[in-house]
Amino acid sequence: MRNILLTVQYDGTNYSGWQKQEGQITIQQTIEVALKEICGHEIELFASGRTDAGVHAYAQMANFTCECNIPSEKIAYAVNSKLPDDIKVIKSEEVNLGFHARFNAKRKTYLYKLYFSPQPLPLKERNYVRIQYDLDLNQIKRSARYFIGTHDFATFTTAVDMREKETTRTIYSVKIVKKPDNEVFIYVTGNGFLHNMVRIIVGTLLEVGRGKIRSRQIKQIIELKNRKSAGATAPAKGLHLLKVYY
Amino acid sequence: MRNILLTVQYDGTNYSGWQKQEGQITIQQTIEVALKEICGHEIELFASGRTDAGVHAYAQMANFTCECNIPSEKIAYAVNSKLPDDIKVIKSEEVNLGFHARFNAKRKTYLYKLYFSPQPLPLKERNYVRIQYDLDLNQIKRSARYFIGTHDFATFTTAVDMREKETTRTIYSVKIVKKPDNEVFIYVTGNGFLHNMVRIIVGTLLEVGRGKIRSRQIKQIIELKNRKSAGATAPAKGLHLLKVYY
């Protein structure tokens, strides 16, 4: 028995997110079906965390217990022959039996991609969110520092059915990078993220950039622990799980 | 009556190319249908040139005669509300009645996108071609200079039904640019291009990069005027019409 760790890249446009759900086409289910075909037995994948419908990943990490004889590093090639073009395993490797892609994750970096244009640009359609108004990037950068550190981020999560009990997380960095071609990339690194947390942080930064929220209000917005005090949840399609650190 | 020039961006993945064809979903037909809806009369678009099935455009240029009252610069907004996400008009402007997007075009630049990776990367799937072998970029750059100038490019075209009679074209530049993240961009600028010309040039440059063709053989390959002497036609999905110069 081996414990195999996969590095998975996907374009989430056509999927109902990572997590297996009855009657939905999800990334987890698609990979599990493909792995079952090549391994010959049922597979349960453990990912570093869920990604929502429409969210992408450069390098999602997921492990599973394998009883087949395919060399660990060849599993990527074998499973890719069964996977669709928008989900591929870019690396497969054997790890210690005790390793768990979620419990062992120390940090994660998400990347949110924005572009400015009066008209929508089809070549950025799937992986970016368009901004039609001017943004004050200096104000955004100034406000970003208030997120850094260990805070109760109850303001920055969507309570679904099951409310997350523990809402304290540590954010290590929020980087706003102006790119060529009227693009802005926002990188957020933390020890873990609540449901919709990065998207609500981005939505709030955009309100700061438009002058609707002042940068120094961020401290108070965090302290209020009230979802309504923050900006809108930015759309899923701009969000990418960039890297998981172990 | 006005002559309106459109700048059109599209992801060609889901289309049978630019040119209207019976029973096919094409980019020209899709835009003409949308323009008819907003202008209230039949529209015939004249593009700077066709693009093949699967080829993309950052800025295809196309003009049409318009009898409606929508202000020229507002046509982009109006037609975009009728267009799918993968085709959008990024600019609309009035031009002289004598202007023709094809006949007035002086130069065009195409961009071909490549990346190196042992596994396919879903986030590059639609707009890049993957290379799995090492390429000698210096050899490719050395060979690129042989394309520059006015030559009979009969070697570098696919004779379909109707053979192009005049196969002399001028290439102004072929630029090979190493990008971050294991990407290589190839820019080709010329006064006009034969059918499949850029894709056969790229396919031939790749053969040079792999050592199957020597860079100095390019001169002879051009002179042979024989399609079989060149490399394979590189896949459509890596090709982008980047800019048309007037």
Q: In sequence order, what are the residues at sequence separation of 6 or more whose Cβ sits closer than 8 angstroms to the Cβ of residue A162?
A: none
Smallest Cβ–Cβ distance between B86 and the set A56, A91, A122 belongs to A122
pLDDT tens by residue, A102-140: 999 999 999 999 999 999 999 999 999 999 999 999 999
The CA radius of gyration of chain B, in Å to the nearest whole number, is 19
Residues of B in contact with A9 (CB under 8 A): 121-123
In this model, does residue B157 exceed pLDDT 70?
yes
Smallest Cβ–Cβ distance between A123 and the set B119, B125, B127 belongs to B127
Number of A/B CB contacts below 8 angstroms equals 63
Give the containing element (helix H, strand E) for B120.
none
Domain that holds residue A12: 2-95
pLDDT tens by residue, B73-84: 999 999 999 999
Distance (Å) from the alpha carbon of B91 to chain A's nearest alpha carbon? 8
Whether residues A139 and A211 share a domain: the answer is yes
Is B85 within a domain? yes
**Rama region for A62: left / alpha / beta (φ>0; ψ in -120 to 50; rest):** beta
Of the candidates A237, A230, A4, A239, the one whose C-alpha atom is nearest the C-alpha of residue A101 is: A4
Whether residues B67 and B128 share a domain: the answer is no
Residues of B in contact with A126 (CB under 8 A): 126
Q: How many domains are contained in chain B?
A: 2
Question: Is the separation of the CB atoms in B120 and B193 below 8 Å?
Answer: no
- The domain that holds B238 is classified in CATH as 3.30.70.660
Smallest Cβ–Cβ distance between A89 and the set B86, B90, B119 belongs to B119
What are the beta bridge partners of residue A184? Answer: A114, A178
Supply the pLDDT for residue A164: 62
Note the ipTM here. 0.93
Contact: B119, A77; criterion CB under 8 Å: yes
Whether residues A139 and A71 share a domain: the answer is no
Give the span between the Cα atoms of B138 and A170, in whole angstroms.
47
3-class DSSP state of A103: coil
Is A102 within a domain? no
pLDDT tens by residue, B199-243: 999 999 999 999 999 988 999 999 999 999 999 999 999 999 999
Whether residues A41 and A87 share a domain: the answer is yes
Whether residues B20 and B112 share a domain: the answer is no
Residues of A in contact with B122 (CB under 8 A): 9-11, 85-88
Whether residues A135 and A205 share a domain: the answer is yes
Which residue in the block uniquely carries the two structure tokens 């031009």? B95
CB atoms within 10 A of CB B145: 13
Smallest Cβ–Cβ distance between B122 and the set A10, A76, A120 belongs to A10
Give the span between the Cα atoms of B127 and B113, in whole angstroms.
7
Whether residues A79 and A159 share a domain: the answer is no
Whether residues B214 and B192 share a domain: the answer is yes
Is A101 within a domain? no
3-class DSSP state of A107: strand
Whether residues B232 and B129 share a domain: the answer is yes
pLDDT tens by residue, B33-81: 999 999 999 999 999 999 999 999 999 999 999 999 999 999 999 999 9
Contact: A121, B90; criterion CB under 8 Å: yes
Return the structure tokens found at B183: 């990407």
Whether residues B202 and B179 share a domain: the answer is yes
Whether residues A76 and A122 share a domain: the answer is no
CB atoms within 10 A of CB B179: 11
- The domain that holds B70 is classified in CATH as 3.30.70.580
Of the candidates B124, B118, B125, B66, the one whose C-alpha atom is nearest the C-alpha of residue B94 is: B66
Q: Are strands B107-116 and B239-245 parallel, antiparallel or unpaired?
A: antiparallel
Is A100 within a domain? no
Supply the pLDDT for residue A160: 58
Query: Which residue numbers in chain A have pLDDT < 70?
Result: 159-164
Contact: B11, A127; criterion CB under 8 Å: no
pLDDT tens by residue, B128-156: 999 999 999 999 999 999 999 999 999 99
Distance (Å) from the alpha carbon of B123 to chain A's nearest alpha carbon? 6
Question: Is the separation of the CB atoms in B109 and B188 below 8 Å?
Answer: yes
Return the structure tokens found at A25: 């086409």
pTM across the whole model:
0.94
Residue B87's closest chain A neighbor by CA?
A122
Whether residues B168 and B241 share a domain: the answer is yes
> What is the CA A89 to chain-centroid distance, rounded?
17
Residues of A in contact with B125 (CB under 8 A): 11, 85-86
Is A132 within a domain? yes
In SS3 terms, A148-172 reads as CEEEECHHHCCCCCCCCCCCEEEEE
Contact: A119, B80; criterion CB under 8 Å: yes
What are the beta bridge partners of residue B149? Answer: B171
Return the structure tokens found at B47: 């593009």
Considering A95, A121, A145, which residue would you say is the last residue of a domain? A95
Considering B56, B73, B95, which residue would you say is the last residue of a domain? B95
* Tally of CA atoms within 13 A in the half-sphere of A134 that contains its CB: 4
Is B57 within a domain? yes
Supply the pLDDT for residue A163: 58
Supply the pLDDT for residue B161: 46
Considering A67, A95, A123, which residue would you say is the last residue of a domain? A95
Is A118 within a domain? yes
Supply the pLDDT for residue A113: 98
pLDDT tens by residue, B9-31: 999 999 999 999 999 999 999 99
Residue A55's closest chain B neighbor by CA?
B123
Angle at the Cα of B57 from the Cα atoms of A123 and B77, rounded to 5 degrees: 70
